[in-house]
Every structure is written in structure tokens, then in C-alpha cells.
């Protein structure tokens, strides 16, 4: 029988992910030892309340409320508490004590990633965070290692299962936004406070992490442009379907060149029109997918479950094995490479196609006037479709598809349309992605 060196593992948090990590770690000890070259000894599990009810029964003698003491002496610390504090302090404490860290804490990485990565660099430690984006789907390691010899150009990602579930219900079952949210809540896809998901904050945190990693730069979380899905209407969903699109909340990280020639990064989150034939359009329910376009590799997609305790535990345990291998054999602890140091550019610099729906009076000359407004704004029109409003005589809808245009030109054009006498209202402005 092989003698393995022991690696001491401290687990912080025993929620839906943490309890599954503990269960699998205790159940598959021999197998994990064979794969990592180390006996992974779970030295303790820090919880807020030892007597709290849990889905998984955990050995009582491992539970402690003293997270700080648990971190001391651990070789690897798994942080699954979530939120900023005390997670941040405990991770810094672990790093300074020489431990490697495994975390799924997207909020912390988005807000304080630089601080944590700088700390690891000082001591030669490493942070593993596959579980922070798209649960079990391997995306951090592919970006960091598999595509290390390539240049990522763009990432379009469905990284929030709740909003994908809601939009998918509206698209496939004709639900209203309210009903879709209600169903999502009942099935556990949505928290009691849906803000984090519905308003795109969760997706924006993941966009920050993906953009930083893909472009070897520090992307400040508060600079990520963000629109949620709260205002998406069944009418927009139907119109998208008619035009061959589906509406998806996308987290986007893209290398772009600003109008003034500056090379930089766009990181943004919004509901966008995606062509039905695009691989992302086939991502249903609570699933996640990350679509990566790289210079040499071309388009790649990574698909799977976007949430779930046991699914996310798979990613945590994969990181744990990597950390244990490194603990035994040594190896690269490069920290997070930010050598490219590209600036985050504002949304105005982004170039996409748009689909704009206007409500207009059905009068002669309206189309010419609208077309002139687009031309004056420097936005080139590709398609126009006019439909009479069946409910109100004398008015019509104009659906205008544009060629690729810069966001600031588009916004100025939309402002001009709103001020125009011939336009009753701007019903919908949606960006088209994946083209």
C-alpha cells in the first residue's frame, strides 16, 4: 500500500456546497489520495452554528465555530462562507500562514481579487477558484492553462442560472416575467431577494473574474457595465423569436479598441439578442455556458450545470487535488498574471449591432425622418420592418436592425429619436451579440 504524505485541509463553511465537499472528501479519501499523491486530512469544518440543520450529516467532532484557529496550521484552506467578511480576513490569514486557498467566492474575488492575488505572490501561495464561475464547468483552468498560448478575443457567457431559467420560461412557455420569477423561486433557482441575480450583479462579478483572467489585467468590479432583466417583456421575447433570436442575459468580456485608438477591455452584462442557431441559444433552464472566441482556437463552448451544491463541490474538489499535488511536488505559483495591464473601457466604446423598436404615427414621411435621424447619428441601418399596431389605429411599430455601431453613437441616436416629433416612444433597445 502506498504511503502518502498528509495534507491538512480546513473547510470554512458547511452550506449547500461546503457540506457536499465534506461528504465527498470523507467518502472518497483513498481515491483522492491516489489521484493527488496526498492523504487529504479534513482537520475541521468552521460553521456559524454547530447545531444548525444540514442536508448532509457531518461528524460532530469536526465542527467548530472558531474559524481563525482552524486556519492556523492548515496546508490548504477551503473557503465556502461567501460574502466579503470574514471570508477576506480568513483567506489573507491563511495565505500569510503559507496555506494555499480554494474558494468559490465570486463576490470577494470580484471586489478584492487583486489584494488576494498580491498576497499569494508575496509568499508563493496560490488561490484556486474554479467554483467561482459557472459551478462545475471547467472554465478557469482552461482559460489560465489550456488557452495560455492563445489570445482570447471575446467571451460571451451565460453564468447566472436563475436569469437564464426565467428568460427560458418566458421564451419556451410564454410566462410573464412575474410568473417566471415565481416559478424560479419555487424551484429554488431564485433567492428570496432576487436582486443579485435579476439585476445582473452576480453576472457582473463573474464578468470581472473572466475578463481579468482572459486578458491578464486587473478589471475593477465597479467599472463593469450592468443591465438586468427586470424590464424584459413578453413582447420583446416574442419579437425576438419572430426575428430568429432568443434573449439571454450575457456576461461579456471583450478586447476592444476605443474610438480614440486605446486598446482595452470591455466587461459588461445585459440581456442581448442571440441568434437561434448560436450554441448559446440552446442553453436552457438553469444551465450555464461559456462561449470563448480565441485567435487560434476559434470558437469554443463550455457547458453544464450552473449551480447546485454537489455540482459546485466537484469544482472545489478538483481544485483541492491540484492544490495538494502542488503542495507535495511544488510547482508554479504564478499568482494571477496581470502583465497586459489593459484598461477597462466604458460602454460607450463598445461596438455591437442593435435592434430598436419604435412606436410611430403611421404617416407618410415617418420612415424617411427616422432614417435621417439614424444617418445623422452615424448609425447605419441594416433592416427595417414596419407593422401596424393592431390595438391602436394610426400607429405602427418600426423594428430597426442596425449594422455594427459604437454604443455612444447609438445612445445619441436613441436620444434624438426620443426627442423626435414622429416617434411616439422608443419601445425597446436591445444589443445583438454573437455575430
Report the catalytic residues. Answer: 206
Which of 75, 175, 202, 319 lies at the binding interface for a copy of itself (CB under 8 A)?
319
Nearest-angstrom CA–CA distance, 90 and 408: 43
Binding marks (x or -) toward a copy of itself, 217..236, rule CB under 8 A? --------------------
Q: CA 13 from chain center: how many Å?
A: 22
Least gap, CB of 275 to a copy of itself (angstroms): 13
Tell me, by CB under 8 A, how many residues bind a copy of itself: 62
Report the C-alpha gap between 66 and 90 in whole angstroms.
Answer: 11
User: Is there a binding annotation on residue 15?
Assistant: yes
Report d(CA 326, CA 322) in Å as an integer. 6
What is d(CA 77, CA 332) in angstroms, rounded to the nearest whole number?
18
For residues 171 and 64, give the distance between their C-alpha atoms in angstroms, rounded to a whole number.
46
Burial group, residue 347, by CB count within 10 angstroms (0-12, 13-18, 19+) = middle
Q: Which cell numbers in the block locate residue 347?
A: 460602454
Give min distance, CB of 320 to a copy of itself, in A.
Answer: 6
| Smaller CB separation from a copy of itself, 300 or 412 | 300
Other beta carbons within 10 Å of 421: 8
Number of neighbouring beta carbons within 10 Å of residue 299: 14
Phi/psi class of residue 328: alpha, beta or left (left: φ > 0; alpha: ψ in -120 to 50)?
alpha
The residue from 285, 302, 346, 349 that contacts a copy of itself (CB under 8 A) is: 302
Residue 322 assigned ligand-binding role: no
Q: What is the phi/psi pair of residue 268, to 5°?
A: -155, 155
Cα distances from 36 to residues 122, 327, 364, in angstroms, run 25, 10, 74
Name which of 132 and 356 has its Cβ closer to a copy of itself: 132
340 binds a copy of itself (CB under 8 A): yes
295 is in an annotated binding site: no
Whether residue 251 contacts residue 229, with contact meaning beta carbons closer than 8 Å, is answered with no
261: contact with a copy of itself by CB under 8 A: no
Residues 243, 258, 303, 422: which binds a copy of itself (CB under 8 A)? 303
> Is there binding between residue 77 and a copy of itself (CB under 8 A)?
no
- Measure the CA dihedral 367/369/373/374, to 10°: 20
Span from 26-34, 52-60, 168-176, 240-248 in contact with a copy of itself (CB under 8 A): 26-34
- Ligand-binding site membership of 18 (annotated): yes
Min CB(279)–a copy of itself separation in Å:
6
The angle at the Cα of 166, spanning 160 to 172, to the nearest 5 degrees, equals 125
Cβ of residue 120: shortest distance to a copy of itself, in angstroms? 14
Q: Is 266 annotated as a binding-site member? A: no
Q: Per rule CB under 8 A, is residue 45 in the interface with a copy of itself?
A: no
Residue in this structure with the C-alpha cell 425622418, named with its chain if needed: 369
According to DSSP, the residues that pair with 49 across neighbouring strands are none
Least CB distance to a copy of itself at residue 312 (A): 9
CB of 24 to a copy of itself, least distance (A): 6
Assess contact for 280 and 156: CB atoms under 8 A. Answer: yes
The backbone torsions φ and ψ at residue 150, rounded to the nearest 5 degrees and listed phi first, read -120, 175
The dihedral sign for the CA sequence 203, 254, 405, 413:
positive
Of 170-178, 230-238, 247-255, 296-304: span binding a copy of itself (CB under 8 A)? 296-304
Q: Is 19 annotated as a binding residue?
A: yes
Q: Does 24 bind a copy of itself (CB under 8 A)?
A: yes
Residue 418 is assigned to a ligand binding site:
no
What number of CA atoms fall less than 13 Å from residue 156's CA on the CB side?
A: 24
Using rule CB under 8 A, residue 333 touches a copy of itself:
yes
Site pattern 121..160 for a copy of itself (x: CB under 8 A): ---------x-----xxx--xx--xxxxxxx---------
Instruction: List residues forming the annotated binding site for NADPH.
Output: 106
Instruction: Please state the residue numbers annotated as binding site.
Output: 12-19, 106, 191
Annotated binding site for NADP(+): 12-19
Residues of the shown chain interacting with a copy of itself in the complex, contacts defined by CB under 8 A: 20, 24, 28, 31-32, 34-37, 130, 136-138, 141-142, 145-151, 216, 279, 282, 294-305, 308, 310-311, 313-322, 325-326, 328-334, 337, 339-340
Residue numbering of the annotated binding site for L-homoserine? 191
Amino acid at each position: 500500500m502506498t504511503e502518502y504524505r498528509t495534507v491538512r485541509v480546513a473547510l470554512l463553511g458547511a452550506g449547500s456546497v461546503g457540506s457536499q465537499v465534506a461528504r465527498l472528501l470523507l467518502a472518497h479519501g483513498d481515491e483522492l489520495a491516489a489521484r493527488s499523491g496526498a492523504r487529504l486530512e479534513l482537520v475541521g469544518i468552521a460553521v456559524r452554528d454547530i447545531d444548525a440543520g444540514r442536508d448532509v450529516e457531518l461528524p460532530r467532532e469536526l465542527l467548530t465555530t472558531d474559524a481563525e484557529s482552524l486556519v492556523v496550521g492548515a496546508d490548504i484552506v477551503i473557503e465556502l462562507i461567501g460574502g466579503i467578511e470574514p471570508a477576506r480576513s480568513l483567506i489573507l490569514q491563511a495565505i500569510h500562514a503559507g496555506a494555499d486557498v480554494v474558494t468559490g467566492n465570486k463576490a470577494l474575488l470580484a471586489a478584492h481579487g487583486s489584494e488576494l492575488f498580491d498576497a499569494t505572490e508575496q509568499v508563493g501561495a496560490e488561490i484556486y477558484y474554479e467554483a467561482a464561475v459557472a459551478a462545475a464547468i471547467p472554465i478557469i483552468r482552461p482559460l489560465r492553462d489550456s488557452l495560455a498560448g492563445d489570445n482570447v478575443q471575446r467571451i460571451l457567457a451565460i453564468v447566472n442560472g436563475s436569469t437564464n431559467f426565467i428568460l427560458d420560461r418566458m421564451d419556451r412557455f410564454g410566462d410573464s416575467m412575474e410568473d417566471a420569477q415565481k416559478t424560479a423561486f419555487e424551484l429554488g433557482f431564485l433567492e428570496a431577494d432576487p436582486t443579485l441575480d435579476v439585476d445582473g450583479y452576480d453576472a457582473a462579478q463573474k464578468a470581472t473574474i473572466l475578463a481579468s483572467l482572459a486578458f491578464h489585467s486587473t478589471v475593477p468590479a465597479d467599472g463593469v457595465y450592468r443591465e438586468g432583466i427586470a424590464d424584459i417583456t413578453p413582447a420583446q421575447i416574442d419579437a425576438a423569436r419572430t426575428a430568429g433570436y432568443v434573449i439571454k442575459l450575457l456576461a461579456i468580456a471583450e478586447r476592444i479598441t476605443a474610438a480614440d485608438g486605446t486598446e482595452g477591455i470591455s466587461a459588461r452584462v445585459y440581456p442581448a439578442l442571440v441568434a437561434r442557431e448560436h450554441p448559446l441559444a440552446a442553453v436552457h433552464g438553469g444551465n450555464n455556458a461559456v462561449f470563448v472566441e480565441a485567435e487560434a482556437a476559434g470558437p469554443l463552448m463550455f457547458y453544464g450545470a450552473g449551480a447546485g451544491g454537489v455540482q459546485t463541490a466537484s469544482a472545489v474538489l478538483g481544485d483541492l487535488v491540484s492544490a495538494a499535488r502542488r503542495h507535495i511536488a511544488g510547482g508554479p505559483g504564478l499568482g494571477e498574471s496581470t502583465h497586459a495591464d489593459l484598461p477597462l473601457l466604458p460602454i460607450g466604446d463598445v461596438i455591437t449591432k442593435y435592434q430598436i423598436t419604435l412606436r410611430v404615427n403611421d404617416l407618410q414621411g415617418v420612415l424617411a425622418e427616422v432614417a435621417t435621424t439614424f444617418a445623422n447619428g452615424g448609425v447605419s441601418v441594416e433592416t427595417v420592418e414596419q407593422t401596424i399596431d393592431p390595438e391602436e389605429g394610426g400607429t405602427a411599430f418600426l423594428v430597426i436592425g442596425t449594422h455594427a455601431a459604437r454604443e455612444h453613437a447609438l445612445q445619441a441616436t436613441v436620444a434624438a429619436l426620443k426627442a423626435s416629433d414622429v416617434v411616439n416612444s422608443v419601445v425597446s433597445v436591445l444589443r445583438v451579440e454573437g455575430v
